[in-house]
């Protein structure tokens, strides 16, 4: 995923290890800071729990940072995840729509 983002001229760094606080990547997109999670789940859909985790992870990020959750396809997200993301202002997307 990071290689794909970099190919689209998105400045992004992978975060690793136990201290990542639920953030898989941090970067800049169009001069805005973001923190995000990548879920390459093929058999399981991304539900509202992942969105709530992202909300919690953003609490330790700078105020101007927005959250992103990236799935394999737009259909990777349950309707509950979509609603939770819209309510919280979390961007949900797939690799084709970045």
Q: What is the pLDDT of residues 11-50, one digit of tens each?
A: 788 887 666 677 989 988 778 899 999 888 889 999 999 9
Range 43-59 average pLDDT: 95
User: Would the pTM count as exceeding 0.85?
Assistant: no
Tell me how far CA of residue 10 lies from CA of 2, 3, 20, 68, 72, in angstroms. 9, 10, 20, 13, 18
**Radius of gyration of the CA atoms of the chain, in A:** 12
The count of residues in the chain is 98
Per-residue model confidence (pLDDT) at position 22: 76
Per-residue model confidence (pLDDT) at position 4: 61
Mean of the per-residue pLDDT values for the chain? Answer: 86
CATH class of segment(s) 2-97: alpha beta
Range 89-94 average pLDDT: 92
């Amino acid at each position: 995923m990071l290689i794909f983002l970099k190919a689209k001229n998105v400045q992004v760094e992978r975060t690793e290890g136990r201290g990542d606080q639920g953030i898989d990547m941090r970067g800049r997109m169009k001069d805005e800071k973001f923190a995000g999670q990548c879920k390459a789940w093929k058999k399981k859909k991304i539900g509202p729990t992942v969105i709530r985790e992202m909300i919690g992870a953003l609490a330790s990020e700078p105020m101007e940072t927005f959250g992103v959750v990236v799935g394999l396809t737009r259909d990777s997200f349950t309707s509950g995840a979509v609603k939770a993301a819209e309510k919280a202002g979390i961007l949900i997307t797939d690799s084709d729509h970045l």
